[in-house]
Amino acid sequence: MSTTERPHDVVLFGATGFTGGLTAEYLAANAGTTRWALAGRNQAKLEAVRSRLGSDVPVLLADIDDVQSIRRVADSARVVISTVGPYINYGEPMVAACAAAGTDYIDLTGEPEFVDLMWLRYHREAERTGARLVHSCGFDSIPYDLGALYTVERLPAGAPIRLEGFVRAGGTFSGGTYHSAVHGMSRLRQSIKVGGERRREEARPTDRRVRGETRPPHHDDTAGGWVLPLPTIDPQTVLRSARALDRYGPDFTYGHYLVVKQLPVLAGLVAGAAGLIALAQLPPTRDLLLKLKDPGEGPTPEQRSKAWFRVRFKGESDGHSIVTEVTGGDPGYGETSKMLAESALCLAHDDLPARAGQLTPAVAMGQALIDRLTRAGIGFATTETG
């Protein structure tokens, strides 16, 4: 069956989780005539989600321990959204099924090891079948990847570009996000190993230079505070887009930073992160960390209503400078569910470049997704030029 003949345009896998439920609510309100379905392993919980939505969308049973059930979901859909994490533990079966079925796949992972491992195992098969495997379609890494593209498009073409991204956000996080973070910190050695394997196998441009830049903590007037390097998956995603798209110029440099207002806060963040990483290495202390918050727990609607994010970009090229911003509300949940859903609708319906394999959001969807997110209330704006 060709993808256009499949019964579902979009299937949401993991609809009974916290972020999955918010994504289902967004689709119910905004999917229009899109043929979409809920999928998960618990019939009663799926039906409860459907009842809460007041919708008659189909319910599909699928369990990651049942390969055939996962493959049936992939075969039935043009696009699958997966919110089942931590992805290093639970994500691979759906990626494998989508790559084999030629089905587009998106998730919200911020786990570098998982993304690199999926590239090593399924990128070439997805190229063969025509599947687009697009990871990190939530707060990791949409604002940075599309914000960088938005900024680059407003700088002179064909000249070297130096770009910095500065992240500020306010809000709280769910148990699922917390568990993914702890698992990620506990697997740093494995992540470095898998990342090295990918670098050895992945082709890179030979006629252009793309590199990351990490400056030590410092005060930056454009950022509006003290900044420190933020070694998340997000700068990796930006640099992969830059390697794939000639528009980023012959020599592209990107630095990625967290912004804090006061120097003591910066010092506290560094010390706290180092402590968490150390505790996550040992099973007894890691288990204690994981018990602090249960998966499925999340911030209340009142907490989410007060949350926000702002990513400011400073770009320089050929004597020109520009400052842009990507802004929105609750970054981890409200806006992430919006980004996930709009990414799926974009892949299902929009006229996009004919590319396949593991792709970044900017490479797979680019301006089409920026347009969708802008209409959905996420801000992309130029604030200063020179």
pLDDT in tens, 322-352: 999 999 998 888 999 999 999 999 999 999 9
Those residues of the chain that have pLDDT short of 70 are 1-2, 171-185, 262-280, 282, 285-298
Separation between Cα atoms, residue 245 and residue 359, nearest integer Å: 11
Position of tokens 């930073």?
257
Say whether both 114 and 243 belong to one domain: no
Instruction: Output the average pLDDT for the chain.
Output: 90
Say whether both 175 and 246 belong to one domain: yes
Say whether both 167 and 206 belong to one domain: yes
Say whether both 283 and 347 belong to one domain: no
| pLDDT tens figures, 105-121 | 999 999 999 999 999 99
Say whether both 89 and 220 belong to one domain: no
How many domains is the chain partitioned into structurally?
2
Q: What angle do CA 314, 317, 323 make, to 5 degrees?
A: 25
Strands 161-170 and 225-229: unpaired
Say whether both 66 and 175 belong to one domain: no
Say whether both 87 and 206 belong to one domain: no
Say whether both 192 and 284 belong to one domain: yes
Instruction: Kindly report the CATH number assigned to the domain that includes residue 116.
Output: 3.40.50.720
Reading phi first (left if > 0) and then psi (alpha if -120 to 50, else beta), residue 225 is in left
The pLDDT value given to residue 284: 73
C-beta separation of 380 from 326 below 8 A: yes
C-beta separation of 240 from 199 below 8 A: no
Instruction: Kindly report the CATH number assigned to the domain that includes residue 180.
Output: 3.30.360
Say whether both 11 and 58 belong to one domain: yes
Name the strand (E) or helix (H) holding 105.
strand 104-107
Domain that residue 356 falls in:
3-137+335-371
Separation between Cα atoms, residue 277 and residue 181, nearest integer Å: 10
Say whether both 155 and 303 belong to one domain: yes
Instruction: Say which residues have a Cβ less than 8 Å from residue 109's Cβ, sequence separation at least 6.
Output: 85, 87, 91, 115, 135, 136, 140, 180, 233
Separation between Cα atoms, residue 189 and residue 363, nearest integer Å: 29
The pLDDT value given to residue 261: 81
Say whether both 233 and 100 belong to one domain: no
Separation between Cα atoms, residue 21 and residue 296, nearest integer Å: 10
The pLDDT value given to residue 96: 98
Say whether both 254 and 343 belong to one domain: no
